[in-house]
Amino acid sequence: MLKVIVVGYDKMLSSLVTGAIEAGHKVVGVLRCDRYRYPAPLLFIKDIFAPSIDFSFLKSYKIYDIKAKSVNSKAFKREFKKLGADIILVGSWGEKLNRSVLDLPELGCVNCHPSLLPQNRGPNPYFWAIYQGKERTGITFHLMEEKYDRGKILAQAGVELPEDMNAGELKNRLCQVAKLLVGQLLSELEGGVVVPVPQDENCASYEPTLEAKDVLIDFNRSVRDVKNHIRALLGMQPPYCKIDGIFYKIRNYAVFEDERKFKKSRVFDCLDGKIEVEIV
What's the pLDDT tens digit per position in 51-101? 999 999 999 999 999 999 999 999 999 999 999 999 999 998 878 899 999
| Ramachandran area for residue 248 (φ above 0: left; ψ -120 to 50: alpha; else beta) | beta
By C-alpha distance, which of 81, 45, 46 is closest to 66? 81
Question: What is the residue-averaged pLDDT of the chain?
Answer: 95
Q: What is the radius of gyration, based on Cα positions, of the chain? A: 21
Nearest CA-CA partner of 241 in 271, 220, 259, 256 = 220
What percent of the chain has a predicted confidence (pLDDT) above 70?
100
* pLDDT over 90 (residue 48): yes
User: What angle do helix axes 167-190 and 10-22 make, rounded to 10 degrees?
Assistant: 30
Distance of CA 179 to the CA centre of its chain: 13
List Cβ neighbours of 204 (8 Å cut-off, separation of 6 or more). Answer: 118, 119, 121, 150
Q: Identify the band that residue 136 occupies on the pLDDT scale cut at 50, 70 and 90.
A: very high
pLDDT in tens, 150-198: 999 999 999 999 999 999 999 999 999 999 999 999 999 999 889 999 9
CATH fit for domain 3-203, picks 3.90.1150.10, 3.40.50.170, 3.30.470.20, 3.20.130.10: 3.40.50.170
- Average confidence (pLDDT) over 243-261: 93
| Entry pTM | 0.94
**Residues present in the chain in total:** 280
- A 10 A CB-CB count for 101 gives 21
Find out whether 88 and 110 touch, Cβ atoms under 8 Å.
Answer: yes
Nearest alpha-carbon partner for 16 in 36, 32, 35, 38: 32
Please give the share of the chain, as a percent, with pLDDT higher than 90: 93
Q: Are strands 153-160 and 136-143 parallel, antiparallel or unpaired?
A: antiparallel
Q: What is the pLDDT of residue 36?
A: 86
The Cβ of residue 22 has, within 10 Å, a number of other Cβ atoms equal to 12
Residue 186 is inside which H or E element, if any? Answer: helix 167-190
Res 213: pLDDT: 94
